[in-house]
Structures are given as C-alpha cells and as structure tokens.
C-alpha cells in the first residue's frame, strides 16, 4: 500500500472509530511506534496502555500498534498530525518538521545523567520543554504529553573504533532526521539515513558500516550478526517523546487527561529503573554473542568524540547555546 493510500485508509478508519468514541463515554486511541518485540519502548507502550485502562476504569482504551504497523517514521508523524493516528512515540527530533528546535532535546552530550535527561524533557520541570511544546501545538497540532528513558545510545561497527578518526569516510546509519546527520558527520563518518525497520539489511549488506542505538535495541535486533564491536560512547541519553494529536487530546475529558498524565509520568519513571537494572546484563549478553566492548579502559577517546560532535552541532545549530544553557540549569 502506498504512503498516500495508507494515510487515507487510516483517516477513514479514524472517522469510523474515533468520532463515535469521543461522543460516548469510552474513548479508543490508536498508539503507533516503530519498536520491535523485546525493546524497552515496546514494554513502555504496553504498560502505559494497561495502566491507563485500569486508572480510567476503561473509559480510555489505548490500542498499541508496534513495529511500524501503521507506517514508517514519516508516515507515523503525518498520521498524528492529521489525527488518523492519535498518539505515538519516537525521538524528539522526529518532530522537527513541525518545530526545528525540538531537536535540542536530542543534542549529544546535553545531559549529565538519565535523571537529568528526564527532568529536562518534562514540561513540569523544564521551561525549554514548555516553550517548544507550545510551538508544536500552535504550528502542527501535536502535543508532547510524556517521556521515557531507554538507555544511553552506543556506537556499533564492523571494526573497532576508538576515535572519530577511525570513522573517517565510512558510512554510518543515521536516524532519518537532520540532527542525526549532524551528529554522525561530527563523529567523522558519512551519515546515511536508514529507517529502523531496514537497519539489519543495511548492516548485513554493507550499505552502512555501523550505527548507534541503546544496548536494548542492539540486543533486540541481534545486531551482533553484522557488527561485532560496541563502543561505549554514551553520546546521547535516549529519552523518547510521547506525543498526541491535539484535537484528540482535548476531546478527552479533563479528569481523564489528568489521570493519563499521571500514568505517563509513572511509567516514564519505571523506564529509568528498567534501563539501570538491565545494563550489566545487556553487556553480558553482548559478550556472550561474540561482541567486543570498547570503552575508555580499552582506548576509547571519549573527549575526542565529545569535542568533535559538540563542534559540529554548534556549527549547524548556532542558536542552541541559550537553550542548552537552560537545559543544564534544570536540576537532576
């Protein structure tokens, strides 16, 4: 099915199911994401849907469609904008077609630790989040309503990498949004946009030499089948945004919206614990599958990565200085 037909079909489905739902007591929301089975983002969506159903006593039902069932990243964002998909989650940068500065929440090395990353991307504790979220609502009819943590993003490759010099002239996968192009370029490589659903074929065929993702994703997709080296660059604290179509959101009674916001925050906090509890086990799983872990103790030059990426980001986004300063001021 073509992208246009898929969106049209979803829009038709929305007219059939969403409008009557909002007119009655029960509301049904379609929630899309690109995550695969076994990923923490898939667990988040499932636990959120369960909790919302319980806390609202069935007045709000969230039906989750994982694994790009409702389209690729671009189609998913378009679906939320027009309301054929009610809610979704992905990196903040995926919304940059609406408001470019939302990508600041994905800026490499912007956060001190996972807790700081969560608070700096929470509207309740982050002035920058409040400002940019209002722009998303006004420009695109999309609102960020929650966030969750899935671990620091690490680099993988077919060969050992210890500094940006080792990536010079090599093709590495970039999430298909502009910020990732800047980051991968800063690392010394040639950014090559690839959808997550196509990442394994791209790695296996050599279309790209490597990629970067949280350890949970690397394991869930068995990336060791193509990349035997994992570099612990921790270049990005991976917090994903949960966002909704504004009209769908405001159609929910205020009391249930408040309950849902409590659920977003509660499951978001659970995600911090999931990531912390899993890290040691994840490294063990990778080693068991023949992966070599490269960190500072084995020669990884983190300062070189931080300096090179930081320079590239400020070259491409020179006005982000004040935003990054305000994010740094958030306690956490």
- Does the pLDDT at position 13 exceed 70? no
Domain shared by 104 and 198, yes or no:
no
Domain shared by 115 and 137, yes or no:
yes
What is residue 252's predicted lDDT score, i.e. its pLDDT? 98
Domain shared by 199 and 273, yes or no:
no
Q: Considering its fold, how many domains does the chain have in total?
A: 2
Mean pLDDT of 86-115: 97
What is residue 14's predicted lDDT score, i.e. its pLDDT? 47
Tokens of 110: 């912007």
What is residue 303's predicted lDDT score, i.e. its pLDDT? 98
Mean pLDDT of 4-12: 44
Domain shared by 317 and 209, yes or no:
yes
Q: Answer yes or no: are the C-beta atoms of 44 and 267 closer than 8 Å.
A: yes
What is residue 131's predicted lDDT score, i.e. its pLDDT? 98
Domain shared by 230 and 158, yes or no:
yes
CATH of the domain at 315: 3.40.190.170
- Does the pLDDT at position 62 exceed 60? yes
Owning domain of residue 214: 154-236+278-329
Q: What is the pLDDT of residues 50-60, one digit of tens each?
A: 999 999 999 99
Q: Give residue 19's pLDDT band: very low, low, confident or very high (50, 70, 90).
A: very low
Q: Answer yes or no: are the C-beta atoms of 18 and 85 closer than 8 Å.
A: no
Domain shared by 215 and 88, yes or no:
no
The helix/strand/coil state of 151 is: strand
Domain shared by 145 and 131, yes or no:
yes
- Does the pLDDT at position 24 exceed 70? no
In whole angstroms, give the CA distance from residue 163 to residue 108.
Answer: 16
Mean pLDDT of the chain: 93
More confident residue, 7 or 317: 317
Where do we find the tokens 């671009």? 74
Record the pTM. Answer: 0.87
Where do we find the tokens 């912007």? 110
Please, what's the b/e burial string for 285-324 (b: 16 or more CB within 10 A of its CB; e: otherwise)? ebeeeebebbeeeeebbbeebbebbbebbbebbeebeebb
What is residue 7's predicted lDDT score, i.e. its pLDDT? 46
Residue 99 φ then ψ, to 5°: -140, 110
Tally Cβ neighbours within 10 Å of residue 31: 23
What is residue 17's predicted lDDT score, i.e. its pLDDT? 44
> In terms of C-beta distances under 8 Å and separation of at least 24 residues, what long-range contacts does 124-127 make, across chains too?
124/265, 125/330, 125/331, 125/332, 126/327, 126/330, 127/326
String of DSSP letters for 166-222: GGTT-EEEE-SSHHHHHHHHHTTSEEEE--GGGHHHHHHHTS-SEEEEEHHHHHHTT
Q: What is the pLDDT of residues 131-173, one digit of tens each?
A: 999 999 999 999 999 999 999 999 999 999 999 999 999 999 9
What percent of the chain has pLDDT above 90?
A: 91
What is residue 134's predicted lDDT score, i.e. its pLDDT? 99
Domain shared by 110 and 211, yes or no:
no
Domain shared by 123 and 14, yes or no:
yes
Mean pLDDT of 236-246: 98
Domain shared by 52 and 145, yes or no:
yes
Domain shared by 44 and 68, yes or no:
yes
Residues ≥6 apart with Cβ < 8 Å to 280: none
- Does the pLDDT at position 196 exceed 50? yes
- Taking Cα atoms as reference points, which of 170, 193, 171, 168 lies closest to residue 180? 193
Q: Give residue 25's pLDDT band: very low, low, confident or very high (50, 70, 90).
A: confident
What percent of the chain has pLDDT above 70?
A: 93
What is residue 297's predicted lDDT score, i.e. its pLDDT? 98
Q: Answer yes or no: are the C-beta atoms of 246 and 308 closer than 8 Å.
A: no
Domain shared by 47 and 166, yes or no:
no
């Amino acid at each position: 099915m073509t992208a246009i037909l898929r969106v049209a079909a979803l829009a038709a489905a929305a007219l059939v199911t969403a409008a009557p739902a909002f007119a009655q007591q029960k509301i049904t929301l379609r929630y899309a994401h690109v995550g695969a089975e076994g990923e923490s983002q898939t667990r988040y969506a499932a636990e959120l849907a369960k909790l919302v159903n319980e806390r609202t006593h069935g007045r709000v039902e969230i039906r989750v469609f994982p694994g790009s069932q409702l389209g690729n990243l671009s189609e998913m964002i378009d679906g939320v904008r027009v309301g054929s998909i009610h809610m979704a989650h992905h990196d903040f940068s995926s919304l940059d077609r609406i408001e470019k500065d939302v990508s600041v929440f994905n800026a490499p090395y912007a956060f001190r630790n996972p807790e700081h990353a969560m608070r700096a991307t929470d509207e309740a504790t982050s002035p920058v989040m409040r400002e940019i979220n209002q722009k998303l609502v006004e420009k695109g009819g999309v609102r960020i309503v929650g966030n969750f943590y899935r671990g620091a993003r690490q680099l993988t490759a077919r060969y050992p990498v210890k500094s940006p010099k080792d990536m010079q002239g090599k093709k590495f996968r970039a999430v298909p949004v502009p910020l990732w192009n800047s980051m991968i370029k800063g690392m010394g490589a040639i950014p090559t946009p690839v959808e997550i659903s196509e990442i394994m074929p791209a790695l296996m065929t050599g279309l790209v030499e490597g990629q970067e993702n949280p350890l949970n994703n690397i394991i869930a997709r068995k990336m060791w089948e193509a990349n035997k080296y994992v570099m612990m660059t921790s270049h990005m604290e991976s917090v994903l945004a949960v966002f909704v179509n504004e009209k769908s959101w405001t159609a929910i009674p205020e009391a249930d919206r408040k309950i849902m916001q409590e659920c977003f925050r509660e499951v978001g906090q659970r995600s911090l614990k999931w990531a912390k509890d899993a890290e040691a086990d994840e490294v063990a799983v990778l080693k068991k599958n023949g992966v070599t872990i490269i960190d500072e103790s084995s020669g990884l030059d983190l300062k070189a990565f931080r300096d090179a990426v930081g320079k590239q980001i400020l070259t491409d986004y020179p006005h982000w200085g004040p935003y990054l300063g305000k994010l740094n001021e958030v306690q956490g």
